[in-house]
Amino acid sequence: MDRAEYLEEFFTKKRKDISFISLRKGASVNFKDKTYVTKEELPVPVRLERLLEDIRKQGQIDGITLNNIIDGIIYLFGTDKDFEYIKDYKDMFEKLSFGFMPYIIYCINNDIKAEDGVVYGKALVNSEENEKTCFIYASCLEKMGMELHEKGKDTSRYFLEEANYYFEKCLDYNDRFSLAYYKLGYYYKRKQQYIKAELTWQKHQELDDDDLRVEEIRNELIQLKPYIDFEKGYNLVLKEKPDEALDLLLPLVKDYSGWWNLLFFIGLAYRSKGEYDIAEKYFENVLKIDPVQKESLNELGLCKIVMGKYVEAAELFTKLLSLDPGNCEVFCNRAVAYLYNNQMDKAREDIQTALKINPNDPVALSIKEELEKNIET
Protein backbone atom coordinates (compact mmCIF):
# COMPACT_ATOMS: atom_id res chain seq x y z
CA MET A 1 0.00 0.00 0.00
CA ASP A 2 1.39 3.40 -0.92
CA ARG A 3 1.01 6.63 1.04
CA ALA A 4 -1.99 7.95 -0.91
CA GLU A 5 -3.89 4.68 -0.53
CA TYR A 6 -3.17 4.46 3.19
CA LEU A 7 -4.26 8.04 3.89
CA GLU A 8 -7.39 7.63 1.79
CA GLU A 9 -8.26 4.60 3.91
CA PHE A 10 -7.49 6.57 7.10
CA PHE A 11 -9.86 9.40 6.13
CA THR A 12 -12.53 6.96 4.92
CA LYS A 13 -12.54 5.29 8.35
CA LYS A 14 -12.85 8.70 10.02
CA ARG A 15 -15.72 9.61 7.68
CA LYS A 16 -17.61 6.50 8.86
CA ASP A 17 -17.76 7.94 12.39
CA ILE A 18 -20.07 10.70 11.15
CA SER A 19 -23.86 10.46 11.44
CA PHE A 20 -26.44 13.05 10.48
CA ILE A 21 -29.38 14.74 12.14
CA SER A 22 -31.86 16.85 10.22
CA LEU A 23 -32.67 20.46 11.00
CA ARG A 24 -36.17 21.12 9.72
CA LYS A 25 -36.93 24.03 7.45
CA GLY A 26 -37.11 27.23 9.51
CA ALA A 27 -35.04 25.80 12.40
CA SER A 28 -32.88 28.31 14.28
CA VAL A 29 -29.23 27.90 15.17
CA ASN A 30 -27.97 30.47 17.68
CA PHE A 31 -24.43 31.60 18.39
CA LYS A 32 -23.90 34.51 20.76
CA ASP A 33 -26.20 37.27 19.43
CA LYS A 34 -26.47 35.81 15.92
CA THR A 35 -29.11 33.47 14.51
CA TYR A 36 -29.10 31.31 11.41
CA VAL A 37 -32.43 30.07 10.07
CA THR A 38 -32.51 27.11 7.70
CA LYS A 39 -34.17 27.76 4.33
CA GLU A 40 -34.76 24.07 3.70
CA GLU A 41 -34.37 20.90 5.70
CA LEU A 42 -30.62 20.61 6.38
CA PRO A 43 -28.76 17.43 7.41
CA VAL A 44 -25.95 18.32 9.80
CA PRO A 45 -23.13 15.98 10.80
CA VAL A 46 -22.27 14.86 14.31
CA ARG A 47 -19.47 12.55 15.30
CA LEU A 48 -20.54 9.48 17.28
CA GLU A 49 -17.24 9.18 19.12
CA ARG A 50 -17.52 12.78 20.33
CA LEU A 51 -21.11 12.24 21.48
CA LEU A 52 -20.11 9.14 23.44
CA GLU A 53 -17.21 11.08 24.94
CA ASP A 54 -19.59 13.79 26.15
CA ILE A 55 -21.91 11.18 27.63
CA ARG A 56 -19.03 9.54 29.52
CA LYS A 57 -17.91 12.92 30.88
CA GLN A 58 -21.37 14.22 31.83
CA GLY A 59 -23.10 10.97 32.70
CA GLN A 60 -26.04 12.12 30.62
CA ILE A 61 -26.71 14.30 27.59
CA ASP A 62 -29.51 16.85 27.21
CA GLY A 63 -29.31 16.91 23.43
CA ILE A 64 -26.92 17.59 20.64
CA THR A 65 -25.00 20.80 21.25
CA LEU A 66 -23.70 23.38 18.77
CA ASN A 67 -20.20 22.14 19.63
CA ASN A 68 -21.19 18.63 18.50
CA ILE A 69 -22.42 20.05 15.19
CA ILE A 70 -19.31 22.19 14.68
CA ASP A 71 -17.05 19.21 15.42
CA GLY A 72 -19.05 17.10 12.95
CA ILE A 73 -18.81 19.76 10.25
CA ILE A 74 -15.04 20.05 10.76
CA TYR A 75 -14.72 16.28 10.45
CA LEU A 76 -16.78 16.39 7.27
CA PHE A 77 -14.61 19.18 5.84
CA GLY A 78 -11.55 17.08 6.62
CA THR A 79 -12.80 13.80 5.20
CA ASP A 80 -15.22 14.70 2.41
CA LYS A 81 -14.63 18.21 1.03
CA ASP A 82 -17.08 17.65 -1.85
CA PHE A 83 -20.04 16.80 0.36
CA GLU A 84 -23.19 18.36 -1.14
CA TYR A 85 -24.07 20.56 1.86
CA ILE A 86 -20.61 22.06 2.44
CA LYS A 87 -21.73 25.42 0.97
CA ASP A 88 -24.71 25.48 3.33
CA TYR A 89 -22.45 24.94 6.35
CA LYS A 90 -20.15 27.75 5.19
CA ASP A 91 -23.19 30.01 4.79
CA MET A 92 -24.33 29.10 8.32
CA PHE A 93 -20.93 30.00 9.81
CA GLU A 94 -20.90 33.26 7.89
CA LYS A 95 -24.38 34.25 9.12
CA LEU A 96 -23.38 33.37 12.69
CA SER A 97 -20.09 35.31 12.36
CA PHE A 98 -18.39 32.13 13.54
CA GLY A 99 -14.63 32.06 12.90
CA PHE A 100 -14.45 28.54 11.49
CA MET A 101 -10.73 28.51 10.65
CA PRO A 102 -9.54 30.30 13.84
CA TYR A 103 -11.61 27.80 15.84
CA ILE A 104 -9.92 24.84 14.11
CA ILE A 105 -6.49 26.35 14.81
CA TYR A 106 -7.50 26.92 18.46
CA CYS A 107 -8.55 23.27 18.80
CA ILE A 108 -5.35 21.98 17.18
CA ASN A 109 -3.26 24.10 19.56
CA ASN A 110 -5.13 22.86 22.61
CA ASP A 111 -4.08 19.23 22.74
CA ILE A 112 -6.77 17.39 20.80
CA LYS A 113 -5.83 13.79 20.00
CA ALA A 114 -3.22 13.48 17.26
CA GLU A 115 -5.54 11.60 14.88
CA ASP A 116 -8.27 14.23 15.34
CA GLY A 117 -5.62 16.88 14.71
CA VAL A 118 -4.89 15.30 11.31
CA VAL A 119 -8.58 15.54 10.34
CA TYR A 120 -8.87 19.11 11.67
CA GLY A 121 -5.69 20.09 9.83
CA LYS A 122 -7.01 18.56 6.60
CA ALA A 123 -10.21 20.57 7.07
CA LEU A 124 -8.11 23.73 7.15
CA VAL A 125 -6.37 22.85 3.89
CA ASN A 126 -9.63 21.81 2.26
CA SER A 127 -11.18 25.15 3.27
CA GLU A 128 -8.32 27.34 2.10
CA GLU A 129 -4.89 26.15 1.00
CA ASN A 130 -1.97 28.51 1.61
CA GLU A 131 1.42 28.38 3.30
CA LYS A 132 -0.10 28.79 6.77
CA THR A 133 -2.76 26.08 6.46
CA CYS A 134 -0.28 23.72 4.77
CA PHE A 135 2.15 24.27 7.64
CA ILE A 136 -0.48 23.61 10.32
CA TYR A 137 -1.68 20.47 8.56
CA ALA A 138 1.90 19.25 8.06
CA SER A 139 2.59 19.81 11.77
CA CYS A 140 -0.50 17.71 12.66
CA LEU A 141 0.69 14.93 10.36
CA GLU A 142 4.16 15.11 11.88
CA LYS A 143 2.77 14.85 15.41
CA MET A 144 0.73 11.79 14.45
CA GLY A 145 3.73 10.24 12.67
CA MET A 146 6.07 10.76 15.60
CA GLU A 147 3.54 9.28 18.06
CA LEU A 148 3.27 6.16 15.91
CA HIS A 149 7.05 6.04 15.43
CA GLU A 150 7.60 6.09 19.20
CA LYS A 151 5.22 3.12 19.45
CA GLY A 152 7.21 1.27 16.78
CA LYS A 153 4.39 1.43 14.22
CA ASP A 154 5.50 1.16 10.59
CA THR A 155 2.50 3.26 9.50
CA SER A 156 4.29 6.30 10.97
CA ARG A 157 6.10 6.71 7.66
CA TYR A 158 2.89 7.52 5.78
CA PHE A 159 2.14 10.47 8.06
CA LEU A 160 5.74 11.69 8.11
CA GLU A 161 6.05 11.48 4.32
CA GLU A 162 2.78 13.39 3.90
CA ALA A 163 4.00 15.96 6.44
CA ASN A 164 7.14 16.43 4.37
CA TYR A 165 5.01 16.87 1.23
CA TYR A 166 3.00 19.67 2.86
CA PHE A 167 6.03 21.36 4.44
CA GLU A 168 7.52 21.46 0.93
CA LYS A 169 4.21 22.74 -0.40
CA CYS A 170 4.47 25.68 2.02
CA LEU A 171 7.53 26.76 0.04
CA ASP A 172 5.56 26.64 -3.21
CA TYR A 173 3.41 29.41 -1.75
CA ASN A 174 6.21 31.28 0.00
CA ASP A 175 9.85 30.30 -0.57
CA ARG A 176 10.93 32.50 2.35
CA PHE A 177 8.83 30.66 4.94
CA SER A 178 11.53 29.96 7.53
CA LEU A 179 9.51 27.55 9.69
CA ALA A 180 9.05 25.21 6.73
CA TYR A 181 12.84 25.04 6.26
CA TYR A 182 13.20 24.45 10.01
CA LYS A 183 10.83 21.45 9.93
CA LEU A 184 12.12 20.04 6.64
CA GLY A 185 15.68 19.97 7.96
CA TYR A 186 14.62 17.62 10.75
CA TYR A 187 12.72 15.43 8.30
CA TYR A 188 15.77 15.05 6.04
CA LYS A 189 17.96 14.37 9.07
CA ARG A 190 15.64 11.53 10.17
CA LYS A 191 15.78 10.15 6.62
CA GLN A 192 19.61 10.31 6.78
CA GLN A 193 19.66 12.76 3.87
CA TYR A 194 22.32 14.85 5.57
CA ILE A 195 23.41 17.04 2.67
CA LYS A 196 19.80 17.97 1.97
CA ALA A 197 19.28 18.70 5.68
CA GLU A 198 22.35 20.94 5.66
CA LEU A 199 21.20 22.92 2.61
CA THR A 200 17.70 23.26 4.05
CA TRP A 201 18.92 24.46 7.43
CA GLN A 202 21.37 26.89 5.86
CA LYS A 203 18.39 28.49 4.15
CA HIS A 204 16.56 28.55 7.48
CA GLN A 205 19.49 30.39 9.06
CA GLU A 206 19.24 33.12 6.42
CA LEU A 207 15.52 33.71 7.00
CA ASP A 208 14.54 33.07 10.63
CA ASP A 209 14.65 35.97 13.06
CA ASP A 210 13.99 33.83 16.14
CA ASP A 211 17.29 33.75 18.04
CA LEU A 212 16.50 30.52 19.93
CA ARG A 213 15.66 28.58 16.76
CA VAL A 214 18.66 30.01 14.93
CA GLU A 215 20.96 28.87 17.75
CA GLU A 216 19.26 25.46 17.90
CA ILE A 217 19.84 24.85 14.19
CA ARG A 218 23.39 26.21 14.34
CA ASN A 219 24.15 23.49 16.89
CA GLU A 220 22.39 20.88 14.75
CA LEU A 221 24.57 21.82 11.78
CA ILE A 222 27.74 21.41 13.88
CA GLN A 223 26.62 17.94 15.01
CA LEU A 224 25.65 17.06 11.45
CA LYS A 225 29.08 17.74 9.91
CA PRO A 226 30.57 14.20 10.17
CA TYR A 227 27.39 12.72 8.70
CA ILE A 228 27.51 15.24 5.87
CA ASP A 229 31.17 14.41 5.16
CA PHE A 230 30.28 10.71 5.14
CA GLU A 231 27.40 11.22 2.71
CA LYS A 232 29.54 13.38 0.42
CA GLY A 233 32.33 10.80 0.67
CA TYR A 234 30.27 7.77 -0.27
CA ASN A 235 28.68 9.68 -3.15
CA LEU A 236 32.18 10.37 -4.45
CA VAL A 237 33.00 6.65 -4.16
CA LEU A 238 29.90 5.84 -6.22
CA LYS A 239 30.99 8.47 -8.78
CA GLU A 240 34.38 6.70 -9.00
CA LYS A 241 36.34 9.56 -7.44
CA PRO A 242 38.14 7.54 -4.75
CA ASP A 243 40.88 10.06 -3.88
CA GLU A 244 38.39 12.86 -3.21
CA ALA A 245 36.24 10.41 -1.27
CA LEU A 246 39.12 9.29 0.94
CA ASP A 247 39.98 12.92 1.77
CA LEU A 248 36.55 13.14 3.42
CA LEU A 249 36.16 9.61 4.80
CA LEU A 250 39.56 8.80 6.33
CA PRO A 251 39.51 11.65 8.92
CA LEU A 252 36.23 10.24 10.26
CA VAL A 253 37.75 6.89 11.22
CA LYS A 254 39.40 8.29 14.36
CA ASP A 255 36.04 9.12 15.99
CA TYR A 256 33.74 6.74 14.13
CA SER A 257 35.64 3.49 13.78
CA GLY A 258 32.49 1.60 14.76
CA TRP A 259 30.58 2.76 11.68
CA TRP A 260 30.70 -0.35 9.49
CA ASN A 261 29.34 1.59 6.52
CA LEU A 262 32.17 4.14 6.82
CA LEU A 263 34.76 1.34 6.75
CA PHE A 264 32.90 -0.33 3.88
CA PHE A 265 33.02 2.74 1.63
CA ILE A 266 36.69 3.32 2.46
CA GLY A 267 37.28 -0.29 1.41
CA LEU A 268 35.39 0.35 -1.84
CA ALA A 269 37.46 3.47 -2.50
CA TYR A 270 40.74 1.55 -2.10
CA ARG A 271 39.44 -1.31 -4.26
CA SER A 272 38.55 1.26 -6.91
CA LYS A 273 42.14 2.53 -6.73
CA GLY A 274 43.48 -1.01 -7.15
CA GLU A 275 44.96 -1.03 -3.63
CA TYR A 276 43.48 -4.40 -2.76
CA ASP A 277 45.61 -5.11 0.30
CA ILE A 278 44.32 -1.96 2.05
CA ALA A 279 40.75 -2.59 0.85
CA GLU A 280 41.01 -6.14 2.24
CA LYS A 281 41.78 -4.81 5.73
CA TYR A 282 38.82 -2.43 5.73
CA PHE A 283 36.37 -5.11 4.60
CA GLU A 284 37.76 -7.46 7.26
CA ASN A 285 37.20 -4.74 9.87
CA VAL A 286 33.59 -4.39 8.74
CA LEU A 287 33.12 -8.13 9.29
CA LYS A 288 34.55 -7.84 12.80
CA ILE A 289 31.69 -5.44 13.53
CA ASP A 290 29.06 -7.39 11.59
CA PRO A 291 30.17 -10.91 10.57
CA VAL A 292 27.20 -11.37 8.20
CA GLN A 293 27.35 -8.04 6.37
CA LYS A 294 26.60 -9.34 2.88
CA GLU A 295 28.14 -6.60 0.73
CA SER A 296 31.40 -6.79 2.66
CA LEU A 297 31.57 -10.58 2.34
CA ASN A 298 31.18 -10.18 -1.42
CA GLU A 299 33.65 -7.30 -1.81
CA LEU A 300 36.24 -9.04 0.37
CA GLY A 301 35.85 -12.17 -1.72
CA LEU A 302 36.48 -10.18 -4.90
CA CYS A 303 39.61 -8.64 -3.37
CA LYS A 304 40.84 -12.11 -2.42
CA ILE A 305 40.41 -13.31 -6.03
CA VAL A 306 42.49 -10.42 -7.40
CA MET A 307 45.15 -11.12 -4.74
CA GLY A 308 45.28 -14.82 -5.71
CA LYS A 309 43.72 -16.04 -2.45
CA TYR A 310 41.23 -18.28 -4.21
CA VAL A 311 40.46 -20.69 -1.37
CA GLU A 312 39.71 -17.82 1.04
CA ALA A 313 37.57 -16.15 -1.64
CA ALA A 314 35.52 -19.31 -2.20
CA GLU A 315 34.99 -19.69 1.55
CA LEU A 316 33.66 -16.12 1.77
CA PHE A 317 31.27 -16.67 -1.13
CA THR A 318 30.12 -19.95 0.44
CA LYS A 319 29.32 -18.10 3.66
CA LEU A 320 27.45 -15.46 1.68
CA LEU A 321 25.43 -18.10 -0.16
CA SER A 322 24.37 -19.58 3.17
CA LEU A 323 22.80 -16.16 3.86
CA ASP A 324 21.53 -15.53 0.33
CA PRO A 325 21.17 -18.90 -1.44
CA GLY A 326 19.47 -17.58 -4.57
CA ASN A 327 22.07 -14.97 -5.50
CA CYS A 328 23.18 -15.52 -9.10
CA GLU A 329 26.04 -13.01 -8.83
CA VAL A 330 27.62 -14.79 -5.86
CA PHE A 331 27.48 -18.19 -7.60
CA CYS A 332 29.32 -16.55 -10.51
CA ASN A 333 31.91 -15.06 -8.17
CA ARG A 334 32.53 -18.40 -6.47
CA ALA A 335 32.76 -20.07 -9.88
CA VAL A 336 35.56 -17.64 -10.80
CA ALA A 337 37.41 -18.48 -7.56
CA TYR A 338 37.09 -22.20 -8.38
CA LEU A 339 38.11 -21.61 -12.00
CA TYR A 340 41.32 -19.81 -11.06
CA ASN A 341 42.06 -22.51 -8.51
CA ASN A 342 41.64 -25.22 -11.18
CA GLN A 343 38.55 -26.67 -9.48
CA MET A 344 36.72 -26.98 -12.79
CA ASP A 345 33.95 -29.35 -11.68
CA LYS A 346 32.93 -27.03 -8.84
CA ALA A 347 33.11 -24.02 -11.16
CA ARG A 348 30.84 -25.71 -13.72
CA GLU A 349 28.40 -26.71 -11.01
CA ASP A 350 28.14 -23.11 -9.76
CA ILE A 351 27.61 -21.75 -13.27
CA GLN A 352 24.88 -24.30 -13.92
CA THR A 353 23.17 -23.15 -10.72
CA ALA A 354 23.61 -19.48 -11.68
CA LEU A 355 22.02 -20.10 -15.10
CA LYS A 356 19.08 -21.91 -13.50
CA ILE A 357 18.49 -18.78 -11.44
CA ASN A 358 18.95 -16.46 -14.43
CA PRO A 359 19.39 -18.18 -17.82
CA ASN A 360 20.28 -14.87 -19.50
CA ASP A 361 22.83 -13.58 -17.01
CA PRO A 362 25.71 -12.21 -19.16
CA VAL A 363 28.40 -12.85 -16.52
CA ALA A 364 27.32 -16.47 -16.04
CA LEU A 365 27.23 -17.02 -19.81
CA SER A 366 30.70 -15.51 -20.17
CA ILE A 367 32.15 -17.77 -17.45
CA LYS A 368 30.42 -20.77 -19.02
CA GLU A 369 32.11 -19.95 -22.31
CA GLU A 370 35.48 -19.68 -20.56
CA LEU A 371 34.95 -23.06 -18.90
CA GLU A 372 34.09 -24.65 -22.25
CA LYS A 373 37.33 -23.30 -23.72
CA ASN A 374 39.23 -24.93 -20.87
CA ILE A 375 37.59 -28.28 -21.70
CA GLU A 376 38.61 -27.94 -25.36
CA THR A 377 42.23 -27.19 -24.49
Report the DSSP pairing between strands 34-37 and 18-23. Answer: unpaired
DSSP state of 377: -
Q: Compute CA distances 127 → 78, 86, 100, 164, 243, whole Å.
A: 9, 10, 9, 20, 55
pLDDT confidence of 63, banded at 50, 70, 90?
low
β-partners of residue 23 are 42
Give residue 28's pLDDT: 87
* DSSP per-residue string spanning 271-294: HHTT-HHHHHHHHHHHHHH-TT-H
**What span, in angstroms and rounded, lies between the C-alpha atoms of 321 and 331?**
8
* Closest by CA position to 163, among listed 126, 197, 138: 138
pLDDT one-digit tens code per residue, 299-343: 999 999 999 999 999 999 999 999 999 999 999 999 999 999 999
Residue 243 backbone phi and psi in degrees, to 5: -65, -45
**What span, in angstroms and rounded, lies between the C-alpha atoms of 272 and 274?**
5
pLDDT one-digit tens code per residue, 5-32: 999 999 999 998 898 988 899 988 888 8
Contact indicator for 264, 296 with CB cutoff of 8 Å: yes
**What span, in angstroms and rounded, lies between the C-alpha atoms of 101 and 184?**
25
pLDDT one-digit tens code per residue, 355-376: 999 999 999 999 998 888 776 5
139-144 average pLDDT score:
97
Residues written for the chain: 377
pTM equals: 0.80
pLDDT one-digit tens code per residue, 190-204: 999 999 999 999 999
Give residue 67's pLDDT: 82
Task: Specify burial of residue 239 (Cβ count, 10 A radius: 0-12, 13-18, 19+).
Answer: exposed
**What span, in angstroms and rounded, lies between the C-alpha atoms of 132 and 121?**
11
80-93 average pLDDT score:
90
Give residue 304's pLDDT: 97
Most confidently predicted of 68-72, 108-112, 278-282: 278-282
What structural domains does the chain harbor? 1-128 (no CATH), 242-291 (no CATH), 296-377 (1.25.40.10)
pLDDT confidence of 115, banded at 50, 70, 90?
very high
